[in-house]
Amino acid sequence: MSDQFSDLKLERKECEKCGAIWINGQHIWGGTGNTGSETDLAGLVCNKLGDHRCINPMKGQDGGQTWEYRAGYIDGKIDERKRMLGELDKFADE
């Protein structure tokens, strides 16, 4: 994925602990190449996996996205759907 950048002079840093990548000081998600928030990265990865080797400057900061946040969002959607299906069952039984 570095091909598109190969003509440019750039500084690439990779966190040896969690594999996060910074290009010229901007954190990017390795999987997608999209720019990312260091706070989200901390919440999703570094606060759990990172140790003293982690180079994310936001490691240890709360306020980014977390898996709990994402899981909570998805659970909420599932509950909503279950309630809806439950309502339908009530009508079907009558």
Least gap, CB of 9 to Zn ion (angstroms)? 24
The DSSP element (H or E) to which 74 belongs, if any, is helix 67-93
> With binding defined as CB under 5 A, does residue 58 bind Zn ion?
no
Cα–Cα distance list, 53 to 10, 15, 50, 56, 77 (Å)? 22, 8, 7, 9, 37
> With binding defined as CB under 5 A, does residue 44 bind Zn ion?
no
Residues 2-41 that bind Zn ion (CB under 5 A): 15, 17-18, 20
Q: Applying CB under 5 A, which part among 6-14, 49-57, 68-76, 82-90 lies near Zn ion?
A: 49-57
